[in-house]
Amino acid sequence: MRKPYQKPTILKLQVGFMRDKKSGLSRMVRREIDGVPVRELAERFGSPLFVFSERRLREQFRYLKRLFEGHYPRVEFSWSYKTNYLDAICRIFHQEGATAEVVSDFEYEKARRLGIPGDEIVFNGPYKPKETLRRAVLEGARINVDSMDEILDLEEIARETGEKVRIGLRVNMDTGIYPRWDRFGFNLESGEVLNVARRIAAGGRLEVVGLHCHQGTFILEPEAYGRAAEKLVQLARKLEEEFGWTIEYLDLGGGFPSRNRLKGLYLPPEVAVPPLSEYAERIGRALLSGLPAGDYPLLILETGRALVDEAGFLITTVRTVKRLPDGRRAYVLDAGVNLLFTAFWYHFRVEIEKEIPGPPEPCVLYGPLCMNIDVVEETAYLPPLSRGTRLILSPVGAYNVTQWMQFITYRPRVVLVTEAGKVEVIREAETLEDIVRRENLPEHLR
């Protein structure tokens, strides 16, 4: 068969590109995920396909737990549901000993449905519907209050139940991380937290037993956690002295980075992302040096991304090959920003399922949406791919299967490669029926 004609193009030489040994072909190939061939996964379960590795999830959890317990005696990991709330993923972390961190009525219900008792739930978020708040109080959840209105709601609930309600306060502060997430909770430096504490004490219906601070996500400065821990310890001491409360837990939120490549960072993750041991060391040091010996509140960590991101892969297939007017190759994949919301912030690792001859050249990876912003990667360096080639994108375990959207196409299957090497479907692909089930055609339009 004659090969189809392709217009010749002249490519601008990219400095460093041709000599970069790391872009060598063998480094771009991924034939399997935890021993299961990519080809088999795609043939059995379709493309696109999210694939999670149970082994990596458990190993990363155990690793982080060990790290932090090596620096502080009382640590609890509370799994951040929003990062990935598929039942199977949550169950794995719960089996490993994590409690549940939820930020909405939906997530609260999802955790309870999965059998997590209320007193193993940390309830955060800027809007907690009153009904769910009441339920959380009755079920003994740890509630971290975000606003004065929530305090008023909780005082009303306390009046109804006739019992004091135990709460945590979410605190925002300057730890050197910008932009500051200061729309959440009460500000430390302005004195707002202390004023709110005075108001709570005067109300007599609530008791502050915890402090919470989540600074943001993908935080690349371990030192910021040290500062947050120091400030929370000082605040705890002040509250205990002034109001007679006992601060039982200090919750440092989430925010530890994964080995992903944030846009705007030009160093590879191995260089740009500090090891998680530095975070553990810095937090442990701040807590142990600030707290009286032996009197240690529980340290809660709501780590999401750093636990799950690297356990997730997306298999996607080149469906169309194009040339752009500027000569670059472009590929239309069957997965775009509808499935990879985090593509707006991260450059994923792009691997090919088999070796393909030909020098890597700069190309663009588009998704299947008819929107100009549907770009998975503006500049990847790949050998010339043909239609049907499968790519493996990673790490994609954090936030994508919660923030994905059902736009003009279906959400695909999600599978788990178990520790025993079996492949289990943990979320079925959507069908037209799933999507139209909730619609209603009024009588006069039928």
When the beta carbons of 162 and 264 are compared against ligand PLP, the nearer one is: 264
> What does the per-residue mask of binding to ligand PLP show for 208-247, with x meaning CB under 6 A?
------x--x------------------------------
Q: Beta strands of 27-176 (E only): which ranges?
A: 32-33, 36-37, 49-53, 75-80, 99-102, 121-123, 142-145, 165-172
- Identify residues 60-89 at the interface with ligand PLP (CB under 6 A): 80, 83
For residue 297, cis peptide bond before it (omega within 30 degrees of 0): no
d(CA 157, CA 137) in angstroms, rounded, equals 8
When the beta carbons of 61 and 256 are compared against ligand PLP, the nearer one is: 256
d(CA 252, CA 235) in angstroms, rounded, equals 14
Residue 255 beta carbon to ligand PLP: minimum distance, rounded to whole angstroms: 4
Residues 6+ positions from 13 with CB-CB distance below 8 Å = none
Span near ligand PLP by CB under 6 A; candidates 85-93, 133-141, 272-280, 303-311 = 303-311
d(CA 193, CA 195) in angstroms, rounded, equals 5
Nearest to 210 by CA among 202, 218, 219, 200: 200
Span near ligand PLP by CB under 6 A; candidates 28-36, 273-281, 289-297, 300-308 = 300-308
Residues 6+ positions from 424 with CB-CB distance below 8 Å = 88, 415, 416, 418
Span near ligand PLP by CB under 6 A; candidates 5-13, 188-196, 250-258, 436-444 = 250-258
Span near ligand PLP by CB under 6 A; candidates 192-200, 263-271, 279-287, 299-307 = 299-307
Residue 26 beta carbon to ligand PLP: minimum distance, rounded to whole angstroms: 32
d(CA 249, CA 242) in angstroms, rounded, equals 18
Binder of ligand PLP out of 222, 253, 395, 412 (CB under 6 A): 253
Binder of ligand PLP out of 168, 185, 222, 254 (CB under 6 A): 254
| CB atoms inside a 10 Å sphere around CB 147 | 17
When the beta carbons of 304 and 395 are compared against ligand PLP, the nearer one is: 304
305 binds ligand PLP (CB under 6 A): yes
Residue 357 to residues 339, 361, 441, Cα–Cα distance (Å)? 29, 12, 53
Residue 307 beta carbon to ligand PLP: minimum distance, rounded to whole angstroms: 8
Q: Beta strands of 273-326 (E only): which ranges?
A: 298-301, 312-323
- Estimate to the nearest angstrom the gap between the alpha carbon of 307 and the chain centroid: 8
For residue 268, cis peptide bond before it (omega within 30 degrees of 0): no
- Identify residues 398-427 at the interface with ligand PLP (CB under 6 A): 398
Binder of ligand PLP out of 53, 84, 99, 124 (CB under 6 A): 124
Size of the site for ligand PLP (CB under 6 A): 16
146 binds ligand PLP (CB under 6 A): no
Residue 39 beta carbon to ligand PLP: minimum distance, rounded to whole angstroms: 32
Which positions lie near ligand PLP, rule CB under 6 A? 80, 83, 101, 124, 214, 217, 253-256, 302-306, 398
